Every structure is written in structure tokens, then in C-alpha cells.
Amino acid sequence: MKMELIQPFINAADAVLSQGLQSPMEIGNLTMEEEAYRRKGVAAMVRLTGDIEGRIIFDLDPKTAARVASHFAGTELPESDGLVREAVCELANQVIGNAVAVLNDQGFKFRVHPPELHTSESGAKSTEDTEALVLSFDTTSGNVFMNIALQYHNAAAAASR
């Protein structure tokens, strides 16, 4: 997975989280996930199809999710509130939508599918083609994890890069 694919997601996460939480964030650990994906808490998954295909998962532990959702909602939300899960989905939608806008303007064509709550405890193991990159964003509300597994759908898209 090339950095040119990843950078727009980092920039978008920075912009959306910083604006929503009204405080700066830092990029923490960046790791390649070789084992099967294990959900940390409240997770939303967005699938992409087109020149680039794959999925991105936004994952927050329950307490962090409640704090982040409360910031975005402008009111205190308990961990159990359904709006917390909705907020994580919308957060994923905004970050990925903003990143995709940049990639699309660079010539990649793809479709963003509506976010889905990711409820499985674990996901498929990475392969050589769909290696997953896990980014941790350190915010004042806690760590926000973004798990990116993307690949070029066709040789032409890859070769043109």
C-alpha cells in the first residue's frame, strides 16, 4: 500500500478530528497488521469500490467513543447511547469522504459506500494484496484507530501511479 494512498486519510482525519474536538491531535503509532483484525470497541467500516478497492475501519474504545461523540454532538452522551455508534459512523464517513475527494481529484475513480457498524470481534486476516495499515491518532478524548486495507483494483490504476 503506497503512502500516496494513505496520506489523504491522515490529512482528513487530522482536519475532521481537530475541528470536531476543537483541539489538535497527534499521529501516534503506525503499524502493519498481519494478524486478523480485532475490534477495539465501537467500530465503523466504509467500503470503497472502483480504481481502488478495500475497506477502512474507524475504531474507538467505548469510553473514547462516548467522549468524541459528546464533543461532536455538543452534549454529554453516555456510552450506551445509540447516538455514540451513529457518531462513529458519521466520523468515519466524514474522514473517508474528505480523503476520497482528494484522491478523486488526483484521478482515482471510486465509489464510497455508506458506513456500516462493524460488529464482528475480528475480521479477515491481511494478505499480501490487502495488507492493513493501522494508524493511531492521539486526541484529547483518547485514541482513535484507523485501519486501512486498500488495493489497486486494476493494473492500469496501479501502473499509472
Partner 1 sequence: MEQFAAVKRSKDGQPVQYLIVDDSVFARKNLGRIIESFGGQIAGEAGDGVTAISEYDRLKPDIVLMDITMPQMEGIEAAEKIVQKNPEARVVMVSSVGYQENIVAALQRGARHFVQKPVKPEVLYEVIKYVLGEDGVVASAAGAGA
State which of residues 51, 53, 59, 90 lies at the interface with partner 1 (CB under 8 A).
90
134 binds partner 1 (CB under 8 A): no
Sign of CA dihedral 127, 122, 114, 133: negative
- SS percent in the chain: helix, strand, coil, step 5: 35, 30, 30
53 binds partner 1 (CB under 8 A): no
Query: Cell numbers of 49, please?
Result: 469500490
Q: In terms of Cα–Cα distance, which of 68, 124, 126, 120 is closest to 94?
A: 68
| Minimum gap (Å) between residue 159 Cβ and partner 1 | 22
State which of residues 27, 36, 101, 158 lies at the interface with partner 1 (CB under 8 A).
101
104 binds partner 1 (CB under 8 A): yes
CB nearer to partner 1: give 82 or 159: 82
